[in-house]
Every structure is written in C-alpha cells, then in structure tokens.
Amino acid sequence: MLASNTNRLTWVGITVGIIAALGLATTAIFPSAMDSAQSQVKHVVIEFVDPDKGFGINNPQSDDYQYNDDGTAYLTNYHQTSKDVVVPSTIHYGGKDYSVTRINDGAVQGKGINSIVIPGSVTAIGNSSFSSNNLTSVSIPDSVKSIETNAFAGNKLTSVTFGSGLMNIGSWAFQNNNIKSITFDDNLKTIGSGAFQGNAFETISLPDKITSIGDWAFTMSDSGSYVKTITAAPADIMPGGINYNANAFDTGVVWPK
C-alpha cells in the first residue's frame, strides 16, 4: 500500500519474511509495477506494520484497550515500551473515535513506569491499576470520581494532587509510598481501609463532606512518621461523632477543638 502524500511504501498484514521475499523478487516478477511506483516515489522504505499497532510508540495497540458499544474505551493492559506514559483522551480505532473513561484493574501494574498523565476523560481508576511502579508524583484530573483498591500502592510517590470530582479513595489505594502532605478536595466522601498506610504524614486536613474513614487509613509508616495532628475535620468523624473510627489513626493523634 502506498501512503498518499508520503514517501513511504508500506505492506500491511504480511509477515516480515514475505516482505523480504517480495523485496528480492518484485523487480523480476512485476517490472512494470515497480517502474510505476518508482515514477511516483524516489526513495521508498518498505516496512512491515502490524495493523493492530500502527506507527510509533505513541500509537496505542488495539489490544491495550477494551472498546465498548457506547463509544467508551478502557485501558486494560499497557504494552508500550515508554516509561513515561501519556494516556490519550480519545482513540481512533476501526473508523470510530472512542473516549478513554477508565483505567482498568491492573492495566499498568508492575510496568516500571516513571510518570503518568491521566486525561480529563477518565472517571475511574481501577484496582491495582498503577501499583508497583516508580511513580514519584501524580495529578488526578477533576473528571475522576473513584480511585479503587491498591490503585497506586507500592510506588515512590511524594506528591499527589486530587481533582475536584473525587468522591472515593479505595482501600490501600496509596499504601507504602512517601507522601508527606496532601490536600483533599471538599467533595471527597470516603477513604478506605489502609488507604494511606505506610506514608510519611504528620499533619492532615480532612474535608467537610467526608463521612467514612476506614481502619488503619493513616497509620504508622516504615520511617516512624505518622499523622500526629488533624488541623480540620467535620464533627461526624471526630471522636464522639456518628462516623468516628478509632482505628483509622495511630493513638495520640490530636484532633481540632
């Protein structure tokens, strides 16, 4: 196939071995065809392109994503080689544009990635989706409503920025990182068990709308640093409140007056 307006001659869906054979035999078998092609293209590069992958590392493989009838797509298994990942907001596949709305369970787990850009189309980040990598910071866009179990556990995070749409942080979602300070948006309602266990907090402020904090959510980190002071919190989750959980923090934490 000769790509229009380019100097690239591409054979799609044929094995590399067949292409090599074609390269040797074409002139002898189809001289007129080659003369015609050469009259249009002076420098021709013949290469094999897997139709499911396309050109370049930024072109997502089709089997990296799940394509849904409603026009959405989920990142299901990251196969690319880049350690600095940029998830696209839309993907053109099979003649149709799909909006990437979810990072599926385990999609980028243990891939050795160093950075991640999550687009504003994503509304949910699945279980263990980015766990066991080398992330040092992450920014969650306003579109994300839920970060699920173990989503970012076992990285090297020191900085996390939450968007305004986030309502739920799942159990163990940020366990075993090195986060020292964090700001929760006012719309956050639940923090799961162990969500921030094993970090380096000393002081936190809890948003007004939060109604549930799970067991061990902010307990001791390996370094011995833990939440010692809560500077702000709604009455319902403070000692004596209807949603108070004595197991959410280590003993000795100081609550606001």
Q: Distance between CA 118 and CA 33 in Å, rounded?
A: 47
Give the per-residue pLDDT at 44: 39
CA distances to 59, 64, 121, 252 from 249, in Å = 45, 39, 34, 9
Tens digit of pLDDT for each residue in 108-151? 999 999 999 999 999 999 999 999 999 999 999 999 999 999 99
β-pair partners for 66: 74
Q: Find the largest Cα–Cα distance for the chain.
A: 90
Higher-pLDDT residue of 99, 51? 99
Q: Where are the beta strands (DSSP E) in 104-240?
A: 115-117, 124-125, 137-139, 146-147, 159-161, 168-169, 190-191, 203-205, 212-213, 229-232
CA distances to 43, 172, 189, 204, 256 from 250, in Å = 69, 16, 21, 13, 16
Flag whether pLDDT at 54 surpasses 90. no
Helix (H) or strand (E) holding 174: none
Cβ neighbour number for residue 56 with a 10 Å cutoff: 7
Tens digit of pLDDT for each residue in 233-247? 999 999 999 999 999
Give the per-residue pLDDT at 35: 52
Q: Distance between CA 183 and CA 231 in Å, rounded?
A: 12
Flag whether pLDDT at 229 surpasses 70. yes
Residues 32-59 have a mean pLDDT of 43
The amino acid sitting at 30 is F
Task: Kindly state the percentage of the chain with pLDDT values over 70.
Answer: 74
Tens digit of pLDDT for each residue in 170-208? 999 999 999 988 999 999 999 999 999 999 888 999 999
Task: Kindly state the percentage of the chain with pLDDT values over 90.
Answer: 65
Flag whether pLDDT at 154 surpasses 90. yes
Residues 60-68 have a mean pLDDT of 82
Q: Distance between CA 92 and CA 166 in Å, rounded?
A: 28
Give the per-residue pLDDT at 247: 94
Give the confidence band of 6 by pLDDT, cuts at 50, 70, 90.
Answer: very low
Flag whether pLDDT at 87 surpasses 50. yes
Give the per-residue pLDDT at 222: 66
Q: Distance between CA 163 and CA 172 in Å, rounded?
A: 19
The reply to whether the predicted model has a pTM over 0.85 is: no
Give the per-residue pLDDT at 223: 67
Higher-pLDDT residue of 223, 10? 223
